[in-house]
Homo-oligomer: A and B are copies of this chain.
């Protein structure tokens, strides 16, 4: 086989075709980046040379270095990459991010990794102009890594104490209080809470002391909101069972079994995510417990699935896509001001909540 099509070709550079066409590399560059300023005859000659030599256009790797801007934003998470396509919350968020990126012509780079070292490396070597950090499990580490990169970044969902990190989120306390208020208004007085992570890698019942040491302020704030309202109507919050889950099916079911394995089970479940709430719906239905008549369930997030569950879920809806859009905007227009935005939430009452029996 000669060197006709494939073979041991080292890539063709702009300089090569410049030489072939008998022009300077400056001119050759112009042919591709500002064709209008080069004389037609020359332009055609260079293009012909490029074609003949199999030149695929200016290599972005080279341009990049000069230009400085990558024109892409990185979306990072400590979850496996498939999280972006599986999790309903993430999907809606990504839709918002996508929309903003489409509008501005920016690309999206998904950053994640199997193990921890690779995560670090991937963040360190990501070709992006900034990061949107999905703070689920392992959020604090992610924020740390992103910060080290000295690029603009915004953290989602982790209302970190550290005021220096830009975040876009919601008023978790108020949102949670709305959910609880809805249930107390209906007359409920016996509650259980399905909580998101307070700290990484733990599931199970949560004591009040453990709440104090929460890494995830979002989780803590939602609990605060719930308890604020419950206290208001005289519920002893120290007796309200709070179960921490990994926001997956297994640990949520474990929590449910513990919650309903007692003599006087709750009449209402406050779930910190729709995902957990939806699992609860299924589990209760399998147990022949009627929602909302035996048990009311209120979720959090407002993912699309919550509207089509059986029964449709009462939930506190976040403007998820809007958060995504704003995050992109914050990074692209990064004006140096580290800002923290809070968007409004909305209680959506559907069929999963009703007054308690009797």
Q: Enumerate chain A interface residues (CB-CB to B < 8 A).
A: 6, 11, 54-57, 60-65, 68, 70-72, 80-82, 84-86, 91-92, 94-95, 98-99, 101-103, 105, 107-114, 118, 121-122, 124-127, 148-151, 336
Residue A107 contacts which of B56, B84, B111 (CB distance < 8 angstroms)?
B111
Given contacts A64-B64, A102-B80, contact A109 B72 (CB under 8 A): yes
Interchain CA distance A56-B148 in the complex, whole Å: 6
Given contacts A85-B98, A99-B82, contact A127 B57 (CB under 8 A): no
Known contacts A81-B108, A82-B95, A98-B81; is-contact A60 B150 (Cβ 8 Å): no
| B114–A105 touching, CB < 8 Å | yes
Chain B, Cβ-Cβ closest to A60? B125
User: Which of the residues B61, B85, B148 comes within 8 Å of A95, measured between beta carbons?
Assistant: B85
Q: Contacts A105-B118, A105-B122 given: A61-B56 contact, CB under 8 Å?
A: no
Taking A56-B150, A102-B114 as known contacts, 20 extra A-B pairs with beta carbons closer than 8 A to each other, sorted by chain A number, are A55-B150, A57-B149, A61-B68, A62-B65, A64-B65, A65-B65, A81-B108, A82-B94, A82-B95, A84-B85, A84-B94, A85-B95, A85-B98, A86-B91, A102-B112, A103-B114, A105-B113, A105-B114, A105-B121, A108-B109
Tell me the smallest distance from the CB of A234 to a CB of chain B, in Å: 42
Q: How far, in Å, is A7 (CB) from chain B's closest CB?
A: 8
How many identical chains are in the complex? 2
When distances are taken between beta carbons in the complex, the residues of chain B under 8 Å from A91 are 85-86, 91
Interface of A is mostly: mixed
A111 surroundings in chain B (CB, below 8 A): 107
Q: Knowing A82-B95, A107-B109, A110-B108 touch, does A60 contact B102 (C-beta < 8 A)?
A: no
Measured between beta carbons, the chain B residues less than 8 angstroms from A105 are 113-114, 118, 121-122
Which residues of chain B are near A125, meaning CB under 8 Å? 60, 63, 71
- How close is A239's CB to chain B, nearest CB, in angstroms? 38
Inter-chain contact A61/B64, CB cutoff 8 Å:
yes
Residue of B nearest to A118 (CB): B105
Residue from the list B6, B57, B107, B126 in contact with A60, Cβ < 8 A: B126
